[in-house]
Structure 1
Amino acid sequence: MTTGAGTFRADALVKKVPKRVWQKLSAGRGAKEQRFYDWSVIDLVEVALDHRQLLVRRNRTTGELAFHHCHSTASASLATLIKVAGSRWEVEETFPSEKVLAGLDEHQVRRYPSRGRWVTLAMLAHAFLAVVRFDEHAHRPTPGDLIPLTCNEIQRLFISVVVRPVHGPGHRATGPPAHRLGWSAWRRSHQARSRAGHDRRQV
């Protein structure tokens, strides 16, 4: 990394960072809680109109370091850089989510066109769940003792209340729809208590 004081390896450059400049900030909410890390940013030598910065993330438990070499047309704030770096987790989470919820990995690839159709169908199914979740969050306030509806819960309800009854008695879920909706509310209240416990521990 080239700085105003010379060229250094990234790990050597971090050792020169004063302790007071590290900030505890969240990279966004993870599966259960906010993902808090220690962050620091180092300005690098600019090239033409390209602003370059080295964003450093330090694990608060293990001390493990991660580096992000940042390029932007204008100098970006630490909060902006962290928001962009944290979005990588959401992108990576999309793939296992599509595998579980939409069967992205359940296709036996024999020809490229069939693979393309299957991937497109899986992405549309996942998009349907995401749009329904967004609509629920935007137009139907969630009670304080429940977590907002997730894609997993919407998929579970859709299969239980809509898909199985359509396929006849042999595929019918046990209990009336009100019973299955009750189980959904119970799961969400349990998850809300669990999330509150994780948040209190983080604080």
Structure 2
Amino acid sequence: HHLLVRRSIADPTDLSYFYAYAPPGRSMALAELVAIAGIRWTVEEDFANGKDAVGLDHTQARRYRSWRRHVVLAMAALALLSVIASLDRREHPAPVLPASPTDKAPADFGRIALTVTEARRLFQLFTSLLRNLPTAFAARRMAFHLQWSTWRRRHQARARWHHYKRRLTDLD
């Protein structure tokens, strides 16, 4: 049994504790324990995305078979949305971030990556638009929503740049 204590860089008084178990006879390097503790964060984020984006927790199943069907469909939907977000992230470079508090704002901040929640919102919009509207009108509405999403993600990248610059200023 190992106790791993993590201290926040931003607030040194903020401590996180991880209790880890390694089977007898297996040595665990500190780097391995840190990597495993880091994986926990992604698992928790996946559950939060599953609850938020695809309704993983929106079931009142009374039988195991019903619960299992709901979870499998929710996880399949989450996997589809994650792949869509991942493909978009691969196409577009990461947003620009300041390296020092004296950096000047760039002309183009880039844009944040497509999130699972944004992918779900666009997917729902497009499926409802294609189902209920004439093709020409639906195409214009889809173009509008894509432009709006792009604008919003560029705006978020700009805000992120300024927040990071402010943090760098506070650290000095």
* Both structures adopt the same fold (TM-score exceeding 0.5): yes
Superposed, 1:109-128 pairs within 5 Å as 109-128=61-80
Secondary structure of 1:186 counterpart: helix
Superposed, 1:1-203 pairs within 5 Å as 54-59=3-8, 60-61=10-11, 63-70=13-20, 73-78=26-31, 80-138=32-90, 140-142=91-93, 144=95, 145-161=110-126, 163-169=127-133, 176-203=141-168
Deviation at 1:143, TM superposition (A): 7.2
Following the alignment from structure 1 to structure 2, what is the Cα–Cα distance between the partners of residues 118 and 98? 12
Structure 1 residues 159, 143: closer, same or farther in 2, change over 3 A?
same
Q: CA RMSD in A?
A: 2.8
Following the alignment from structure 2 to structure 1, what is the Cα–Cα distance between the partners of residues 19 and 71? 32
Query: Which residue identity is paired with 1:112?
Result: Y
1:19-63 deviation digits (Å, cap 9, x = unpaired) = xxxxxxxxxxxxxxxxxxxxxxxxxxxxxxxxx754321244361
Secondary structure of 2:47 counterpart: helix
Deviation at 1:77, TM superposition (A): 4.4
Following the alignment from structure 2 to structure 1, what is the Cα–Cα distance between the partners of residues 145 and 72? 30
Query: Which structure has the highest helix share of the two?
Result: 2
Structure 1 residues 55, 160: closer, same or farther in 2, change over 3 A?
same
Following the alignment from structure 2 to structure 1, what is the Cα–Cα distance between the partners of residues 62 and 4? 43
1:64-117 deviation digits (Å, cap 9, x = unpaired) = 433334456455244x53332122122112222112211112222222211110
More RCO (CA 8 Å, sep 6+): 2
Instruction: Tell me the number of residue pairs that the alignment of Structure 1 and Structure 2 aligns.
Output: 148
Following the alignment from structure 2 to structure 1, what is the Cα–Cα distance between the partners of residues 36 and 165? 26
Secondary structure of 1:57 counterpart: strand
Structure 1 residues 55, 201: closer, same or farther in 2, change over 3 A?
farther
Percent of pairs identical after alignment? 38
**Structure 1 stretches of 5 or more lacking a match?**
1-51
Following the alignment from structure 2 to structure 1, what is the Cα–Cα distance between the partners of residues 75 and 42? 15
1:114-148 deviation digits (Å, cap 9, x = unpaired) = 1110111000000111122222333x134742111
- Could you state the TM-score of these two structures normalised by the residue count of structure 1? 0.61
**Structure 2 stretches of 5 or more lacking a match?**
96-109
Query: Which residue identity is paired with 2:6?
Result: R
